[in-house]
Amino acid sequence: SCLAIIAARFSCGAPRGGAELGPGALIDSRIFSVIQSKGSYVCSFDNLSQDKSLGNAIESSDDSDPDVDGMKSPRTVSLAAKRVSECVYAHARQGRFVMTLGGDHSMGIGTLTGSARALRERFGGTSAELSVLWVDAHADINTPETSLSGRIHGMPVAFASGLAKSRGKNVFDWITETHLINLKKFVYIGLRDVDEAEENLIKENGIKAFTMDDVRRQGIQTIMDLALEYLGDRTPIHVSYDIDSLDPEWAPSTGFPVTRGLSLEEGIYISHRLHKTGNLIAMDLVEINPLIQPSKLGKTLESAASVIKSALGIDREDI
Ligand code: ARG
Ligand code: MN
Ligand code: MN
Ligand code: MN
């Protein structure tokens, strides 16, 4: 079976630019060549945030894309996520493993909805429901109403699950029932910077969440046992991996670094366990920002590549 690599060069969901340079930096790096040699289908999104077909809303403050319900750059992000969704869907529909490189985490709206829709079409029924592992320092489950920043990279879980609804005005109105993920088949790992409203949403919706405190108390091995047991062993898994889940020591070049994160070894272990299930069907690796701590970009890229290789099972075999 084949691997599709999608470069989601996009940062309009984040407060500052730079994340659109993440995919290129990763793909161009020497350490990525072994991954790329596995890719039979590459679907590239060049500078989504400056794409003319998205209108000219390059800046978050651009007059051509005014706020909707407090959301910044709503139409631009919606349209970019829609294109990512369609690309992920097209590859996943063919049974390919889909690797999406970001880009800011608003693209998670695209990747999760693309995977969920493809699974429903391929298999039908409840057995076709996607499992999601969200590895992140942040919960990214704000709705437009709860968000303090208005930035959509803090909202992907809400839009992909239907907690946040489409707004008309070409803002996420492309999301239908068939795109949605089930929050009962969703697990967080690595949380340590969660807004109060997000905590409430997690509780109200009974979402399984393993915080960094849980990881420190029980160890990453036990946490992965529990996470995979919760999701069940006959379920396709999509992992959405925010590089800021790792401690800033290992991944400094990111927009929202938070201390007390996962060690690289723990990060790799998560990927390794996912690979070993044989059920991993898609991965996002997002929020690398080459403009932040540029002198440590190499280290960030190396960490990202290690986590990716482990998920693909090429960490031991090919090197
Ligand atoms: N919770 C904050 C917000 O809603 C920060 C989100 C950070 N998200 C990210 N993908 N880095 O704005
Ligand atoms: Mn994050
Ligand atoms: Mn995130
Ligand atoms: Mn293997």
Please state the separation of Cα 90 from the chain's center in Å: 18
Give the predicted TM-score (pTM) of the model: 0.94
**8-state DSSP, 260:** S
Give which of 170, 202, 171 is closest to 188, Cα–Cα.
202
Percent helix / strand / coil, the chain, rounded to 5: 45, 15, 40
- Give the Cα separation of 172 and 170 in Å (integer): 6
Nearest CA, atom 7, ligand 1? 154
Q: Is the CB of 256 within 6 Å of ligand 1? A: yes
What pLDDT sits at residue 60?
46
State the pLDDT at residue 186.
98
**Minimum CA distance residue for ligand 1 atom 4:** 154
CA 317–ligand 1 middle distance (angstroms): 36
Measured between alpha carbons, how far is 317 from 44 in angstroms, rounded to an integer?
27
Output the six-digit token pair for 228.
């995979």
Q: What is residue 74's predicted lDDT score, i.e. its pLDDT?
A: 94
Cis peptide before 103 (omega within 30 of 0): yes
* Nearest protein Cα to ligand 1, atom 11: 256
> CA–CA separation, 20 vs 272, rounded Å?
27
Q: What are phi and psi of 44, to 5 degrees?
A: -105, 135
Distance 317 CA to ligand 2 centre (A): 30
Contact 273, 317 (CB under 8 A): no
What SS3 state is found at 59? coil
ipTM reported for the complex surpasses 0.90: yes
Give the integer Cα–Cα distance in Å for 228 and 241. Answer: 16
Smallest-distance ligand from the CA of 134: 3
The CB of 140 under 6 Å from ligand 1? The reply is yes
- For the Cβ of 138 lying below 6 angstroms from any atom of ligand 1, the answer is yes
Over the range 12-37, which residues count as b (16 or more CB within 10 Å of their CB) and which as e?
bbbeebbbbbbbbbbbebebbebbee
Q: Which ligand minimizes its atom distance to the CA of 289? A: 1
Pocket test for ligand 1, best of 60, 71, 104, 140 (most atoms within 8 A of CB): 140
Our answer on whether the CB atom of 287 is closer than 6 Å to any ligand 1 atom is yes
Short-list 73, 77, 76, 52, CA closest to 61: 73
* 134 CA → ligand 3 middle, Å: 8
pLDDT, tens digit only, all 319 positions of the chain: 588 999 999 999 999 999 999 999 998 887 778 777 776 666 666 556 555 554 443 444 456 899 999 999 999 999 999 999 999 999 999 999 999 999 999 999 999 999 999 999 998 866 678 999 999 999 999 999 999 999 999 999 999 999 999 777 789 999 999 999 999 999 999 999 999 999 999 999 999 999 999 999 999 999 999 999 999 988 999 999 999 999 999 999 999 999 999 999 999 999 999 999 999 999 999 999 999 999 999 999 999 999 999 999 986 544 3
How remote is the CA of residue 318 from the centroid of ligand 3, in Å? 30
Q: Is 195 in the pocket of ligand 1 (CB under 6 A)?
A: yes
Q: Helices 74-93 & 108-123, crossing angle to 10 degrees?
A: 30
